[in-house]
Amino acid sequence: MGLLQSLTGFLAQRLKLKVNGAKSAVARPWQRKFLGYSLTWHMRPKLRIAGASLGKLTAKVKALLRDARGRNLGTTIHTLNPVLRGWATYFKLTETKRALDEQDGWIRHKLRCILWRQWKRPYARACNLMTRGLTEERAWRSVCNQRGPWWNAGASHMHAAFPKSWFAHLGLVSLLDTVQPLPRVS
């Protein structure tokens, strides 16, 4: 008889409690999630955000940004901010920052991709890149590279034209910056 079966039997028969089989398991702490959190497997474990929770945020952001293709970027950020702020506040106890940093980068990448798609034509793309400080030669080389919107959104020319500070100026909530200054609970 396994550990899970003996514990389930004890809880059900002796303590008269119902055990949900779908939520119950015997596993290592870093393999399980509880209230959206998980643990790292280090010598001194740290509280981290579970992968399933990150997946849910990604799906929610994708759904919000799917409707943003014809909208002003400021309006898109305005609709995105409450979701990001609420999510960051819920996960303020996390002790790892890698997942938050990657999620922030992915969101900025998606927003740069929306910009690239909105410009549509090479002339508009080149003019907008030059307006943001790129040289004429670099702007035209970037526009005529025959790559798709996702690749261009992650390329150095878009990072130079639209850095993290530009998105902060527009008011985009950074998950990492929101979580870090919050006080830790002892």
Residue with tokens 């992968």: 51
**pLDDT at residue 182 is higher than 70:** no
Q: Among 32-36, 102-106, 182-186, where is mean pLDDT lowest?
A: 182-186
pLDDT for 6 equals 80
**pLDDT at residue 45 is higher than 70:** yes
Residue 84 lies in a domain: yes
Two structure tokens written together for 85: 């702020």
pLDDT for 81 equals 95
Q: What total number of domains does the chain contain? A: 1
Q: How far apart are CA 64 and CA 87, in angstroms?
A: 14
**pLDDT at residue 134 is higher than 90:** yes
Sorting pLDDT into bands at 50, 70 and 90, what band is 52? confident
For residues 47 and 37, is the Cβ–Cβ distance under 8 A? yes
Sorting pLDDT into bands at 50, 70 and 90, what band is 29? low
Range of the domain at 58: 50-179
For residues 141 and 160, is the Cβ–Cβ distance under 8 A? no
* Number of separate helices (H) and strands (E) present in the chain: 10, 2
Residue 151 lies in a domain: yes
Residue 20 lies in a domain: no
Residue 111 lies in a domain: yes
pLDDT for 1 equals 57
Region 50-72: what's the mean pLDDT?
88
pLDDT for 158 equals 94
pLDDT for 152 equals 94
Residue 23 lies in a domain: no
Residue 25 lies in a domain: no
Task: Please indicate whether residue 131 or residue 97 has the higher confidence score (pLDDT).
Answer: 131
Residue 150 lies in a domain: yes
**pLDDT at residue 136 is higher than 90:** yes
Two structure tokens written together for 96: 């790892």
Task: Please indicate whether residue 172 or residue 41 has the higher confidence score (pLDDT).
Answer: 172
As a whole-number percent, the residues of the chain with pLDDT over 90 amount to 51
Residue 7 lies in a domain: no
pLDDT for 142 equals 93
Best mean pLDDT range from 35-49, 57-71, 138-152: 138-152
